[in-house]
Structure 1
Amino acid sequence: METNSLLFLRAVQLAVIAAYELVGKNDKNMLDQKAVDIINKLLTNNDVNAKIAIGEGELDAAPMLYQGQTFSHQQAITFDIAVDPIEGTAPASKNEPGSISCIAIAKIDTMLQIPEMYMEKLFLSEDLGATIDFSQPIEKILLTLLNIKQNLSCIILNKPRHQAIIKTMQALGIHVELINGGDVLGAIDVVLKKADFLYGIGGAPEGVLMGALAIATKYKMFARLIAIAYEQVWPDESETKDRIKIEQQALARKKISYDTIFSERDLVADEEAMFFAASLMGGTVLKPLQIIDHEYVVHSFIGYNNIYHQIISKYPITNNVQDLLNKYSK
């Protein structure tokens, strides 16, 4: 898989460059589509011999980067891809911090394929995670962590569903770093030592990306799927009524339940998993995409084999991102 590493790095970097023109334009769907188009073209133009395990959705909901889509030039599929073309489309569309493009790769059929549903997640170092029993209430887990290390800090999404646990953490003396979106980006920040752990309820597909990140950087992750009243979360979404049925069918196929506890290796069963991210709006340890001296300056992150790299890349500004795609497609 190492031979493909530069390709996937370029994919996330060109994705944020493509999305950059939509920053602050209040059109999160088109911003996401710009990134989807670039990644899809780059993977299609190259002999990556891969399939999408985690992507934009099923075929009927996403014409590109959908779960099950393959990229192969008549050769055997050899690995899985999990991709979030832009995590944090809403903040990026509002010109606010907190968005990246990210891709993880692993050996074929090693990524847990799950639909878009909610997942409770805990992401932390191996030292902190060594004695965690995720079947316990989170309040007891927090006390366990405090017994291991004082002056703890946590990254958590600033959502109504988290307000009670945020108050509990603060009462225990845990420093809370609130983010408005992007728990994959939050997990990267944990790896980069901005906080000791990340906790909260977020997207399950993003949980697979975080699982790959944990394996790639020698971190720990615990997770379980959560049933949510979707009519309260997404009251105006046309597919809200069908979501519970879709979830139940997926759980039955995978022979898992809401009580199933996952580790990072349950989410991605490959010790050689690789993780790539490029920052669009930053706001964390990774700086935002910038234009300096007629160049795009992109800040990126790669994790592989228990090592991570922070990379600064510079691309020439062109009138059309397609020109960059053509130039750097191989």
Structure 2
Amino acid sequence: MSSTKRAYQSDDRNLALELVRVTEAAALAAANWTGRGLKNEADGAAVEAMRLAFDAVAISGTVVIGEGEMDEAPMLYIGEQVGAGGPAMDIAVDPLEGTNLTAKNAPNALTVVALAERGNFLHAPDIYMDKIAVGPGLPNGVVDLDNTIGTNLRELARAQKRDISELTLCTLDRPRHEELIARTREAGARVMLISDGDVAAVVATAMPGSGVDIFAGSGGAPEGVLAAAAMRCVNGQMQGRLLFEDEDQVARAREMDPSGDPRRKLGLYDMAKGDVLFSATGVTDGALLRGVRFAHGRAITHTIVMRSKSGTIRFIEGQHDFKIKTWTAR
């Protein structure tokens, strides 16, 4: 292996660890508000800590999935430049996925960041996206957004050599999913309803023992891009389609991503292509990660970090001493 290639791989690994520090910072800040019923305060703390942590990351980053437009968010807004200088990167962030979950101390609140080389993430407006996802090791196209859920469940059961009754579909507990839920149960599968947190739910389809076999339904488009980044790293499958309420939203999507029809069905590589890094740290306990634990001036965090280039998945436990650490709010 050439020295140049070794240096590039070493830099990439170092960058992955830097991302862990970024999501840890946001999780530690948000966890101060766990169970206090103050979702906006939790979100604000996570945003501020994540933005500060990015100042030490050796990239020239542009936020393409973030907290909204410049006039809607004070930091980590779409188009904001972050990082200490280095390779040009797209950044997708959700400083606190599950603000309500954090406020209620409910499961599956996460802090999430994904990186890709410039131009490799879908620039998606903050609207809904229809999504479907399954884990790795399955035939390509085993499920399809254009098929009925009954057909998708039958094809998934056939591919996994299981009965449909053994499958569990996860979806957000929303009135708009009533038909999806009814058709899933009618087909014979189980349904797992979640109140928030569809990034974690999509990733769970790729994690053995999570109890989730397929995710389907509509949720935020920004969360869809983050989930796609994670699925790239685990070789899972995912499709999406933006859902528009009016022509103004269509025009906005076309402006942000002029490369194709805004209404087209999006494959995994339409949402996240090239080399992708993904990190998420638990704020509250969930199927994917443990939440932050505070005790005696210290905290323990639990993070997943993944690289699409190598397919490596690492779970990292961090122990933080607040007598030394200075970049958190605690």
Q: Quote the residue 1:9 is aligned against.
A: 20
Conservation of the 8 A alpha-carbon contact between 2:33 and 2:41: yes
Q: TM-score, normalised by structure 2?
A: 0.86
Q: Quote the residue 1:306 is aligned against.
A: 311
Shift of 1:76: 6.5
Shift of 1:83: 0.4
- Mean CA deviation greater in 290-299 or 303-312: 290-299
- Mean CA deviation greater in 135-144 or 164-173: 135-144
Shift of 1:181: 0.6
Conservation of the 8 A alpha-carbon contact between 1:120 and 1:225: yes
Counterpart residue identity of residue 278, structure 1 = T
Q: How does 1:142-161 map to 2 (within 5 A)?
A: 142-149=153-160, 150=162, 151-161=166-176
| SS at 2:222 equivalent | helix
Residues 75-126 of structure 1, C-alpha deviation per residue, up to 9 Å, x if partnerless? Answer: 5651111000000001211222221000000011111111100001111124
Percent of aligned pairs with the same amino acid: 26
Conservation of the 8 A alpha-carbon contact between 2:121 and 2:272: yes
Q: How does 1:179-258 map to 2 (within 5 A)?
A: 179-193=194-208, 194=210, 195-228=212-245, 244=246, 246-253=248-255, 254-255=257-258, 256-257=260-261
Residues 237-287 of structure 1, C-alpha deviation per residue, up to 9 Å, x if partnerless? Answer: xxxxxxx455222233234446411111100121x2011000001232312
RMSD: 2.2
Q: Is 2:290 aligned against 1:287?
A: yes
Conservation of the 8 A alpha-carbon contact between 2:54 and 2:83: no
Residues 46-71 of structure 1, C-alpha deviation per residue, up to 9 Å, x if partnerless? Answer: 43211111110111111200111112
For structure 2, the residue ranges without an aligned partner over 5 or more in a row are 1-11
Runs ≥4 residues deviating over 6 A: none
Q: Quote the residue 2:38 is aligned against.
A: 27
Q: 2:184 aligns with which of 159, 165, 169?
A: 169
| SS at 2:205 equivalent | helix
Residues 132-154 of structure 1, C-alpha deviation per residue, up to 9 Å, x if partnerless? Answer: 33333333322322332322222
Q: Quote the residue 1:85 is aligned against.
A: 95
Counterpart residue identity of residue 33, structure 2 = L
| SS at 1:262 equivalent | coil
| SS at 1:4 equivalent | helix
In 2, Cα distance between equivalents of 1:129 and 1:59? 42
In 1, Cα distance between equivalents of 2:285 and 2:178? 24
In 2, Cα distance between equivalents of 1:45 and 1:303? 20
